[in-house]
Chain A
Amino acid sequence: MDDVLESIILGRLDADDKLAERTRALVIGACHGAEALDATLEGKAPKPSKKADAKAPSARNPAYIQSIEVQGFRGVGPPASLPITTGPGLTLVVGRNGSGKSSFAEALELLLTGDNSRWSTRSAIWKEGWRNLHQSDARIDAEFVVEGAKGTTVVSREWMPDAKLEEADTVVSAQGSKKSDLETMGWAGAVEMYRPFLSYSELGSMLDAGPSALYDALSAILGLEDLIEAEARLKEASKQRKKLSDEAKLALPPILERLATVEDDRASMCIEALSAKTWDLDAVEKAVIGTEEADREESQLAVLRQLAVLEAPDADEVKTAVDGLQAAASALREMGGTEAAKARQTAELLGAALTFHERHGDQDCPVCGQGALNTEWRTATEEEIGRLRQQAEQVDLAHRLMEESMKSARANLLPVPAVLSSASEIGLEVEGVIGAWKAWSAGASIEESEALARHLLASLPSVVEGVEKLKAMASRELQRREDIWRPIATDLAGWLDTAKRARSGEDVLKDLSAAEKWIRAASNDIRNERFAPIADQAQGVWDMLRMQSSVQLKKIVLTGAGSARKVVLDVSVDGMEGAALGVMSQGELNSLALSLFMPRATLPESPFRFVVIDDPVQSMDPARVDGLARMLEETAQARQVIVFTHDERLARSCRLLGIDAKIVEVTRRPDSVVELRSGQDPVSRYCNDAWAVAKSEDLDPAVKARIVGVFCRLAMEAACTEAVTRRRLANGEDYESIEALLDSVKGLAELMALALFDDIARTKDLTVRLDRGIGKWAVAAYRRVQEAAHKPVSQEALLTLVKESERLARGLVQLP
């Protein structure tokens, strides 16, 4: 984006405090290009855009053309150079169609526009036929005088022998600086913006191309393309996101329909998640991925999953428990009913007896009175105490073993798992297994170890069998449901991806459209500000061009946006308001187009002080040619105006209106030899041609004798035509009737009668009038010229004939 526009936009952004931060960032991103916008949308800070428009200091320095030299391009074979007077002024390049004149205009345009889209849209015939058949070396050189630059600046483009049109570089060489290109010079963009090339036929078609195309072409002048592009970028970004949203929305109903057919918690969960106004995409994602936590406790899937891994009492563990019980029981049995307490108390009693004996010495047993407490007794008693204590411990151990065995045996007798009761709700046959399990767990109340062991061994098989059956059923059911779900899940996953991207797009959609709206409003304001003076100027041009046209151009406004953008040309015909372009003739339309595009080509900001107009006189009535001449004259006050034209109407208008115009005549010989010579008024031109023939050293005298007379006669004809036209125009007659009158004239005599007497019939009075009014020589010259057109002139009379003819012609042209 150019600096001026960017600073305007930034200024407006600063002044707008209601704008959301992201909208603001999007506006700036869009202004900096597609990449920057993408970065902004991804939440990254856009890379600072490089300033492509860093202009050379000379970019705005006024430039005038000095010459255009063309070789091997289009109609021009050997090198031919079109010189143009540098500085403001009007140059008319006159030549028949096919004379090669337009090749100069096209060459200049190609040179400055390079590989512009204009050329790429040209027909294949044009693109392949751009080379001149008679010259294999192709090049274009244009010399410019750029204010502030030394000497001339030459822009050249040279093609290799087999190169295509686009396969050549345009090189800029300026005195005292390195060779560069148009880009560096700052002209590439300027050419696009101001287009100092106005091809009349193309201009006319601009009006036919539809209101949007005209709008674009006109608003292009205003240098708002960058804004328009920024707007388009935002629009595109919105469009892509909306498209994604629509895709997600559009794809949803069939998915919901399918989900509804599936008996699966995940399906119903997804339906619930997607029926809400805002989709719960996280829930859907969990269902799709199938994470455990997605299953709600009570869900059938959860039950099925639990059932599938349900553990029956472990047969090995049960066996270990039974073994334990049996071992404990046999240990107790071995103790043979020994009571540990009695053994321990006996040991304590004997211990007390030992203590007694220790303190009181040997004596009879105080308890039974029969035995004796002595050393022998003592030794035996100490042994007895050890045995008793050991016995008591063994009994304790056996009891503890039994307790442990009972505990671990009962540990196997778990209550019926809760999940089994949920299983019946799914429709699985579980009564058997529940019954078996209940019976199994009822064993917890058995107190007797042998009975418990028997219970364990007896009840286990039916529980294990029931559980295994149930697990298999649950797995099968899970698999069945999974087989139905998986394809749906796959589809859902695909949809989910779109939906997620749509979701993230929707988040910025509001900001995107706000940014788009903001830029559009800004464009409109800036456009109208910038276009107002151009519209005024266009109306001014039209007022000059329209001449006798009853069509009045009242207002030009650029309105609308997007596909509804258009140029409103408020036109009135014969004072009737609101007329359509349809009422205008092709000539009027072309003039209107020229009015619209002339201002942009001559904007003060443009470095190009020249404007090239190709063939504006087509389908113009003569009065409008006068208008054109006046408009060109005015433009030429400050600009170098170069007009290529295929006949002499514009030159004649300039001549008759006293408009100063340099004329270059272009003729093209066989083999594409293009000749240029500076043109003159017709009388001078014919006289000079006559002199050139008469004095020629190259021409065969026989040829001279045959052709010189015709040039003399042409000079007289031109003089009379000029005098008649001027006089009648001054009397208010229009070109059409004057031309009709001149067309009806037969021969020089009638023409001269018209010039001298304003009466075509008075041919008989000619000689008398010439004799008395001018002199005898004039009569002689007139007679010789009459004959000379058909008869060779003698060598001796040649120079005299030319001299007298010129004198007579110059006299005639000044007739009042």
Chain B
Amino acid sequence: MEMSRSSEMTPAEILERATDLLNHPTAETAGLWPRATAVLARQALEVGLHEALSGKILGIQNAPVRVQLLCLQSYLEDAETAHEVSLAWWALSRACHHLSYELPPTAPELEGLIDVVRRFVRTL
């Protein structure tokens, strides 16, 4: 498997890994793939967010993601996509945290969230 510097991956590349994880069952990832997929999708979103805003606002990369998402809504022409991205991030974030009894998202839910992120990443 090709070794790549993870920090240098593009949002699309990260998202591709998320999709792989979702669609290609392996014994090793059985059961853990829903959260793992969510983590990768969220990172793709966050890296994309960073790319979208870094040229526009000084020092934005250090701001919390919540703030960045708010900024995205004012900088992205397509307000609807910005809103969707925001919701997707919250949904993905829930999967990245332990909640007392909630189970991780299902495959169709993840597919939906990945779709949102993919559309966002394509606008970059």
Contact = CB atoms under 8 A, between A and B. Distances in A.
Contacts of B31: 665, 667, 675, 677, 689
B106 A99 contact: yes
Contacts of B104: 96, 667
A647 B23 contact: no
Interface in B14-72: 14, 17, 21-23, 25-26, 28-36, 39-40, 43, 46
A698 B106 CA distance: 22
B106 A668 contact: yes
A486 interface: no
B119 interface: no
A790 B46 contact: yes
B40 A706 contact: yes
B17 A703 contact: yes
Contact of A703 (B35, B40, B97, B103): B40
Interface in A59-94: 94
B7 A721 contact: no
Nearest to B38: A710
A682 B14 CA distance: 27
Given A677-B30, A706-B6, A96 B103 contact: yes
A707 B7 contact: no
B108 A710 contact: no
Nearest to B32: A689
A95 B107 CA distance: 12
A702 interface: yes
Q: Which 6 A-B pairs have CB atoms at the shortest separation, nearest pair first?
A: A792-B6, A717-B98, A702-B6, A648-B101, A689-B32, A718-B98
B102 A692 contact: no
A668 B2 contact: no
Contact of B39 (A648, A649, A707): A707
B33 A669 contact: yes
B123 interface: no
B106 A692 contact: no
A739 B36 CA distance: 25
A652 interface: yes
5 contacts: A673-B25, A677-B30, A692-B32, A702-B9, A714-B35
A239 B25 CA distance: 64
Contacts of A739: 100
Nearest to B34: A667
A557 interface: no
A239 to B, nearest CB: 54
Nearest to B110: A670
B26 A714 contact: no
Interface string A636-651: 0000000000111101
A699 interface: yes
Contact of A701 (B1, B39, B108): B1
Contacts of B101: 647-649, 651-652
Nearest to A718: B98
A701 B35 contact: no
Given A677-B31, A689-B32, A669 B107 contact: yes
B3 interface: yes
A256 to B, nearest CB: 75
Contacts of A648: 100-103
B43 to A, nearest CB: 6
Interface string B53-96: 00000000000000000000000000000000000000000001
B116 to A, nearest CB: 17
A127 interface: no
Interface in A504-524: none
A670 B22 contact: yes
A679 to B, nearest CB: 8
A725 interface: yes
A670 B100 contact: no
A700 B29 contact: no
Interface string A673-689: 10101000010001001
Contacts of A180: none
A714 B28 contact: no
A742 interface: yes
Contacts of B40: 703, 706-707
Contacts of B7: 791-792
B106 A96 contact: yes
Given A98-B108, A686-B98, A710 B103 contact: no
Counting chain B CB atoms within 10 Å of each CB, the highest count among A693, A702, A717, A792 belongs to: A702
A345 B108 CA distance: 152
A274 B23 CA distance: 86
A159 interface: no
A97 B96 CA distance: 19
A627 to B, nearest CB: 16
B12 to A, nearest CB: 13
B107 A711 contact: no
A789 interface: yes
B96 A789 contact: yes
B36 A693 contact: yes
Contacts of B115: none
B51 to A, nearest CB: 15
A706 B46 CA distance: 12
B106 A98 contact: yes
B53 to A, nearest CB: 16
A669 B28 contact: no
A268 to B, nearest CB: 86
A703 B28 contact: no
Contacts of A99: 106
Contacts of B108: 98
A707 B41 CA distance: 10
Contacts of A647: 101-103
B111 to A, nearest CB: 7
Given A686-B98, A689-B32, A707-B36, A700 B17 contact: yes
A706 B39 contact: yes
B82 to A, nearest CB: 21
Contacts of A673: 25
A703 B15 CA distance: 10
Contact of B100 (A652, A668, A705, A711): A652
B98 A698 contact: no
B32 A711 contact: yes
Contacts of A792: 6-7
Given A668-B107, A701-B3, A703-B36, 6 more contacts: A95-B103, A96-B103, A701-B1, A703-B17, A706-B43, A707-B40
B35 A710 contact: yes
In this complex, the member of A652, A670, A693 whose beta carbon has the largest number of chain B beta carbons within 10 angstroms is A670
A707 B39 CA distance: 6
Interface string A714-739: 10011001000100000000000001
A585 interface: no
Nearest to A673: B25
A675 B33 CA distance: 11
Contacts of A707: 35-36, 39-40
